[in-house]
Amino acid sequence: MHNAHLRLAEEAREYLALQHVRWVPSGQPGHRGAPVANSTDRLTMLRAALVNHADFVLDDGEFRSTEPTYTVNTLARIRRDTGAETPLVLIIGGDQFLGLETWKDWRRLFDLAHIAVAERPGHVIDTARLTSQLAAEYASRAAKSVGAQPAGTIIRFPMAALDISSTAIRHLLASGSSPRYLLPDPVLEYIHTRHLYRKVPT
């Protein structure tokens, strides 16, 4: 969790006219290795980052799961909670969209939510780089707004160019340098109190 994540959420909320942004930290990600910090620390840091943001809601559902978590399963759970007619929007980056076909049950994502793709300079949707299947989905689903329908469209929205990397922040912390102003002060205070990220990430 760093300031670019917060800014992305705020820009998505305003551009897409969302009532709120639901933050869903991963529990046991099925597509990659375990996170550096443990679940308790990550959940506490996220709570600290969101405490003054009335439009941001923390969803700790994945932490209660004993199974590896995938986005499609998380969206299915949220869809059950919110009902069939509530519009849901999955916010991802342009680089993530390029690899969407590698996600578990990726086509089912469109049955569960809209997909909003954040585009920052140098990371916009280049249709020439999409596979034929993903290009076909994009061509049929591209829209300018979420509208009233509950799911099924792809919306692009601009994001400010903030070059902040979680890996770079961990390197700063491990080397004893300050990452202040790259992440919220309450999160940085918690990291220092708990002596987190003292090892250089590999």
* 123-149 tens-digit pLDDT: 778 888 899 999 999 999 999 998 889
Give the domain extent around 74: 3-163
How far is 138 from 165, CA to CA, in rounded Å?
28
Provide the percentage of residues in the chain whose pLDDT is more than 70.
93
For residue 178, being part of any structural domain is answered with: no
The CA radius of gyration of the chain, in Å to the nearest whole number, is 17
Domain count, the chain: 1
Q: 16 near 89, Cβ under 8 Å?
A: yes
Q: 31 near 103, Cβ under 8 Å?
A: yes
Among 109-113, 119-123, 135-139, 174-178, name the one with the lowest average pLDDT. Answer: 119-123
**What's the CATH number where 132 sits?**
3.40.50.620
Confidence band, pLDDT 50/70/90 cuts, at residue 34: low
For residue 12, being part of any structural domain is answered with: yes
For residue 181, being part of any structural domain is answered with: no
Q: How many CA atoms lie within 13 A of 111 on its CB side?
A: 9
Q: Tell me what pLDDT residue 115 has.
A: 97
For residue 40, being part of any structural domain is answered with: yes
Q: How many CA atoms lie within 13 A of 126 on its CB side?
A: 7
Using the predicted structure, report yes or no on whether residue 202 has a pLDDT greater than 60.
Answer: no
Which residues touch 155 (CB under 8 Å, ≥6 apart)? 16, 89, 114, 115, 116, 117, 142, 143, 144, 145, 146
For residue 24, being part of any structural domain is answered with: yes
In 3-state terms, the chain is what percent helix, strand and coil (to 5)?
45, 15, 40
pTM: 0.85
For residue 177, being part of any structural domain is answered with: no
For residue 186, being part of any structural domain is answered with: no
Q: Backbone phi, then psi, for 112, in 5-degree steps?
A: -100, -25
